[in-house]
């Protein structure tokens, strides 16, 4: 490798192994010489072109040796040079770190009972549930002692459906139906209630930064239990990018739906709610303010039941 080296030792290392495939190739060849076909089979997801490019780069940098055997048909094997083998402690350290990180994820700790299993946790906190409300805040508690627990996990993938709409649009009802079909549900009102519980605040606006932070936290918590999520929430157009950032940071596939029955239907459904009735001025305000581009699918649910709407969303 004939080039000027960086001043930082870590950068020197990264200049030799600057992508995941080079690390994985070296890791495979550490076990012994490999033919091209064996490497491609072992490295799930790598294309022939990318494997060829990385093998050539590793050879040019003096990390691997390409040996051609005088056979018919010709046989080519790749093995590590002495310089390449010197990276073994680096690979071993990365494996050790990954194992320890994976072992620490999903740990659930109760302040009274110590480390507990998922089966000993209630994800939804019924103590914080609003009267006549079907969905409870996501503040996990220990089933043994009813104490709040800490869930150590980071969401790294999955699917999330975002149900948006004015009061009376049916988003919470539909979210409840999706919960029956295996989704973990976050409701906007419940998110605010969780923030109040954790911070001791009397009131929390639905656009408060603490609400965004709580949604991110709840996704991390829920990822210890599943990978299909629903967020039913009034989401303003100017806030959409914040949620997209949260979802992208967690490698989530996301879909946004705006539930928009005609105004009179939304008003009638709001009046028929059993949880609480929102003043008409707010129903009207959100009905007009929730205006999005084509990245959000608008569903006219005027003549659809909640079940029909849920079915429609799941087929998309």
> Once rounded to an integer, what is the mean pLDDT over residues 239-260?
95
* Lowest mean pLDDT, pick from 38-42, 84-88, 95-99, 310-314: 95-99
Residue 239 pLDDT grade (very low, low, confident, very high; cuts 50, 70, 90): very high
Specify the pLDDT at position 104. Answer: 61
Whole-Å CA distances, 5 to 2, 13, 16, 83: 9, 10, 10, 16
* Stronger pLDDT, 64 or 294, i.e. the higher one: 64
Specify the pLDDT at position 142. Answer: 96
Specify the pLDDT at position 256. Answer: 97
pLDDT, tens only, 79-100 = 999 999 999 999 999 888 887 7
**pLDDT above 70 for 2:** no
pLDDT, tens only, 19-35 = 889 999 999 999 899 99
Q: How far apart are CA 265 and CA 167, in angstroms?
A: 11
Residue 271 pLDDT grade (very low, low, confident, very high; cuts 50, 70, 90): confident
Specify the pLDDT at position 107. Answer: 85
* Lowest mean pLDDT, pick from 145-159, 272-286, 292-306: 272-286
**pLDDT above 80 for 257:** yes
Q: Is-cis flag, bond preceding 73, omega within 30?
A: yes
Helix or strand run (H / E) with residue 261: none
pLDDT, tens only, 131-168 = 777 899 999 999 999 999 999 888 888 999 999 999 88
Mean pLDDT is highest, among 73-87, 97-111, 277-291, for: 73-87
Q: Are 55 and 78 in contact (CB under 8 A)?
A: yes
Domains located in the chain, CATH noted: 9-104 (1.10.10.10), 154-315 (3.40.50.300)
Specify the pLDDT at position 105. Answer: 66
Q: How far apart are CA 263 and CA 247, in angstroms?
A: 30
Q: Are 215 and 242 in contact (CB under 8 A)?
A: no
Residue 108 pairs in a beta bridge with 116, 151
Which residue, among 71, 90, 88, has the nearest Cα to 80 in the 3D structure? Answer: 88
Mean per-residue pLDDT over the chain, rounded: 91
**First and final C-alpha spacing in the chain:** 52
Q: How far apart are CA 142 and CA 211, in angstroms?
A: 24
pLDDT, tens only, 104-135 = 667 899 999 999 988 999 999 999 988 777 89
* Residues above pLDDT 90, as percent of the chain: 68
């Amino acid at each position: 490798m004939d080039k000027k080296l960086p001043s930082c030792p870590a950068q020197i290392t990264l200049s030799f192994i600057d992508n995941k495939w080079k690390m994985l190739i070296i890791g495979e060849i550490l076990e012994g010489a490999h033919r091209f076909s064996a490497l491609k089979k072992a490295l799930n997801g790598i294309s022939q072109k990318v494997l060829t490019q990385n093998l050539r780069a590793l050879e040019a940098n003096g990390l691997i040796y390409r040996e051609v055997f005088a056979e018919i048909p010709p046989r080519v094997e790749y093995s590590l040079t002495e310089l390449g083998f010197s990276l073994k402690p680096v690979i071993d350290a990365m494996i050790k770190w990954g194992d320890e990180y994976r072992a620490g994820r999903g740990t659930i700790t109760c302040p009274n009972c110590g480390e507990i299993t998922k089966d000993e946790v209630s994800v939804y906190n019924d103590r914080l549930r609003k009267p006549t409300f079907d969905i409870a805040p996501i503040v996990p508690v220990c089933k043994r002692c009813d104490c709040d627990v800490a869930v150590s996990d980071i969401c790294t993938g999955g699917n999330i459906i975002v149900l948006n709409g004015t009061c009376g649009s049916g988003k919470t009802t539909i979210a409840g139906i999706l919960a029956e079909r295996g989704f973990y549900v976050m409701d906007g009102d419940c998110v605010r209630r969780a923030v109040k519980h954790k911070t001791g605040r009397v009131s929390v606006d639905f656009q408060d930064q603490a609400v965004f932070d709580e949604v991110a936290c709840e996704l991390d918590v829920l990822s210890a239990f599943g990978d299909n999520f629903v967020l039913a929430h009034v989401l303003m157009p100017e806030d959409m990018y914040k949620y997209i950032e949260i979802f992208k940071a967690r490698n989530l596939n996301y879909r946004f739906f705006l539930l928009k029955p005609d105004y009179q239907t939304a008003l009638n459904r709001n009046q028929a709610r059993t949880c609480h009735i929102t003043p008409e001025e707010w129903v009207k305000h959100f009905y007009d303010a929730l205006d999005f581009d084509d990245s959000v699918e608008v569903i006219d649910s005027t003549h659809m039941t909640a079940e029909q709407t849920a079915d429609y969303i799941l087929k998309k």
